[in-house]
């Protein structure tokens, strides 16, 4: 359903103003563990001045719980569970959301199905009722299913011509062939076309359960009230999930270079290998190594060598992806086709050089300073805090992690990052290049 522009603007403005009100630094974020009367746990940040309640939640499972021949089920569920629930069809459901300035959204990733609720204090009861309905009584009406399916298919058709999407799809299909991570989160045109309402209901039955749930709450809510809210939204879910087991896996095809010809102005380069799990004792050192190589700052080696020194690309990155059943190191960029070979060589040379030599003391100091200083930016709105509360629970990091995190960064030594750089970056790399590249000189990992 499409809301009127004026109403949509009023809703967006109200929620935006409310979201900006709460902005504590991470050091001041006091997190309280709450257990509801029904035994459901959540993490709470009580902010007496916040004019809204922000609730994020996640169920383990995500697209890894899609049937093998029906990739895209989780994503289609995410697009549909607020398109009518209980006695409310799609139009009525969205009218209720809009009339009460309620922000409710859902998404799916490989390992998680996520929900996000934002409501003003005087509209909270309606917000909780609608969220409960979406999770427990989604209708999956035929007209809504076909409308959202059509939207997904349109997006997938565009993705099939996007060099970034093609490179990503090929990389994951090669690295995790035969594993659920092989399948695109949003499915394929062929798989999405076969999904039925029964598939959607089966997914919600298996995945939406109390033992499979993590919750973060931020707002003017005390522990007792938070417990009541939790039970009102989630208390009627099944006690236990019925997840299909997913095996641990390591990226395959390392050392391969896959070239896909596509008539586009720029070539996309995607590189990946084995990462380090988030619960591994070396993860924080690996996180710092990644920051030095190609993380978020303009001081990274890849940014300097690829953009500043040679002008080969506007942006270049590296990242760690610690998933539930694997850990991946990724790097990528986009450049002119006639420079793709040179760009790939530069990126791989920098990866190998950092593996062999390790970071310098100056690089370590700069990376620590950036990571410690920027951490508070993850907690400068109630919306961000709610998301972080859920993420930390899903990663099993401990309720005191926010207070401990910067000390963990500071404790990493030069010897640590030199050793972990070799562990992280000295393995083989799977390379995917999409475009019209000239790759004769590229080393490819």
pLDDT tens-digit readout, 285-297:
999 999 999 997 7
DSSP 296: S
pLDDT tens-digit readout, 152-170:
999 999 999 999 999 999 9
State how far the Cα of 379 lies from the Cα of 61, in Å rounded to an integer.
Answer: 26
Among residues 131, 36, 129, 7, the alpha carbon closest in space to that of 81 is found at 131
Residue 327 has pLDDT above 80, yes or no: yes
Q: What is the mean pLDDT of residues 306-330?
A: 96
Task: Please provide the distance, in angstroms rounded to a whole number, between the alpha carbons at the two ends of the chain.
Answer: 48
State how far the Cα of 416 lies from the Cα of 414, in Å rounded to an integer.
Answer: 5
> Which pLDDT value is given to residue 207?
98
Q: How many beta carbons lie within 10 A of that of residue 190, not counting itself?
A: 12
> Which pLDDT value is given to residue 234?
98
The alpha-carbon radius of gyration of the chain (Å, integer) is 23
What residue has token string 């950092």? 354
- Please return the burial class of 191, using the count of CB atoms within 10 Å of its CB with bins 0-12, 13-18 and 19+: buried
> Which pLDDT value is given to residue 24?
43
> Which pLDDT value is given to residue 362?
97
> Which pLDDT value is given to residue 28?
52
Count Cα neighbours of 285 within 13 Å in the Cβ-side half-sphere.
20
Fold type of domain 257-435 = Cytochrome Bc1 Complex; Chain A, domain 1 (3.30.830)
> Which pLDDT value is given to residue 296?
74
State how far the Cα of 304 lies from the Cα of 316, in Å rounded to an integer.
Answer: 10
Q: What is the mean pLDDT of residues 214-239?
A: 97
pLDDT tens-digit readout, 261-283:
999 989 999 999 999 999 999 99
| pLDDT category of residue 49 using cuts at 50, 70 and 90 | confident
Tokens of 433: 């290049």
Residue 409 has pLDDT above 60, yes or no: yes
- Please return the burial class of 173, using the count of CB atoms within 10 Å of its CB with bins 0-12, 13-18 and 19+: middle
Fold type of domain 5-234 = Cytochrome Bc1 Complex; Chain A, domain 1 (3.30.830)
CA 57 to chain centre: 13
Tokens of 372: 């410690």
Q: What is the mean pLDDT of residues 54-64?
A: 97
- Compute φ and ψ for 7, nearest 5 degrees: -70, -45
DSSP secondary structure string for all residues of 190-257: HHHHH--HHHHHHHHHHH--GGGEEEEEEES--HHHHHHHHHHHHTTS-SS--PPP--------TT-E
pLDDT tens-digit readout, 418-440:
999 999 999 999 999 999 855 43
State how far the Cα of 65 lies from the Cα of 69, in Å rounded to an integer.
Answer: 11
Higher-scoring residue by pLDDT: 275, 10:
275
Among residues 102, 8, 210, 66, the alpha carbon closest in space to that of 93 is found at 102
5-234 and 257-435: identical CATH topology: yes
- Compute φ and ψ for 409, nearest 5 degrees: -65, -45
- Please return the burial class of 113, using the count of CB atoms within 10 Å of its CB with bins 0-12, 13-18 and 19+: buried
What residue has token string 């009367």? 37
pLDDT tens-digit readout, 94-134:
999 999 999 999 999 999 999 999 999 999 999 999 999 99
State how far the Cα of 258 lies from the Cα of 239, in Å rounded to an integer.
Answer: 45
Bridge partners (DSSP) of residue 442 are none
Q: What is the mean pLDDT of residues 377-402?
A: 96
Give me the residue spans of the domains in the chain. Answer: 5-234, 257-435
Greatest Cα-to-Cα distance within the chain, rounded to the nearest angstrom: 66
pLDDT tens-digit readout, 170-224:
999 999 999 999 999 999 999 999 999 999 999 999 999 999 999 999 999 999 9
């Amino acid at each position: 359903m499409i809301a009127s522009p004026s109403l949509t603007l009023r809703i967006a403005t109200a929620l935006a103003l409310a979201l900006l009100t709460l902005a504590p630094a991470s050091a001041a974020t006091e997190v309280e563990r709450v257990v509801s009367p029904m035994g459901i746990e959540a993490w709470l940040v009580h902010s007496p001045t916040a004019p809204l309640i922000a609730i994020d939640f996640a169920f383990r499972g995500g697209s890894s719980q899609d049937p093998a021949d029906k990739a895209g089920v989780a994503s289609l569920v995410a697009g549909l569970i607020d398109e009518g629930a209980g006695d409310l069809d799609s139009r009525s459901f969205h009218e209720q959301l809009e009339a009460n300035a309620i922000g409710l959204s859902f998404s799916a990733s490989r390992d998680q199905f996520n929900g996000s609720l934002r409501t003003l204090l005087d509209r909270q009861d309606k917000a909780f009722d609608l969220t409960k309905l979406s999770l427990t009584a989604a209708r999956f009406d035929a007209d809504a299913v076909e409308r959202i399916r059509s939207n997904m298919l349109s997006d997938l058709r565009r993705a099939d011509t996007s060099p970034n999407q093609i490179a990503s799809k090929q990389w994951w299909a090669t690295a995790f062939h035969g594993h659920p991570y092989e399948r695109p989160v949003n499915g394929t045109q062929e798989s999405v076309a076969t999904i039925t309402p029964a598939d959607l209901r089966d997914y919600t039955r298996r995945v939406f359960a109390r033992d499979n749930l993590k919750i973060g709450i931020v707002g003017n809510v005390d522990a007792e009230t938070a417990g009541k809210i939790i039970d009102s939204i989630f208390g009627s879910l099944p006690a236990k999930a019925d997840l299909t087991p997913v095996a641990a896996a390591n990226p395959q095809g390392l050392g391969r270079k896959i070239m896909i010809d596509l008539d586009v102005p720029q070539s996309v380069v995607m590189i990946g290998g084995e990462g380090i799990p988030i619960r591994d004792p070396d993860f924080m050192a690996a996180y710092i190594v990644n920051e030095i190589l190609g993380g978020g700052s303009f001081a990274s080696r890849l940014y300097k060598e690829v953009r500043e020194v040679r002008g080969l690309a506007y942006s270049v990155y590296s990242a760690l992806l610690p998933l539930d059943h694997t850990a991946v190191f990724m790097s990528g960029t986009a450049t002119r086709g006639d420079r793709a070979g040179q760009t790939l060589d530069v990126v791989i040379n920098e990866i190998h050089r950092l593996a062999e030599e390790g970071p310098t003391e100056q690089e370590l100091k700069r990376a620590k300073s950036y990571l410690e200083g920027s951490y508070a930016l993850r907690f400068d709105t109630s919306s961000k805090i709610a998301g972080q509360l859920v993420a930390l629970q899903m990663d099993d990091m401990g309720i005191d992690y926010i207070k401990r995190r910067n000390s963990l960064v500071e404790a990493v030594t030069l010897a640590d990052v030199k050793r972990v750089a070799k562990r992280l970056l000295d393995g083989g790399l799977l390379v995917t290049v999409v475009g019209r590249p000239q790759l004769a000189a590229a080393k490819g990992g």
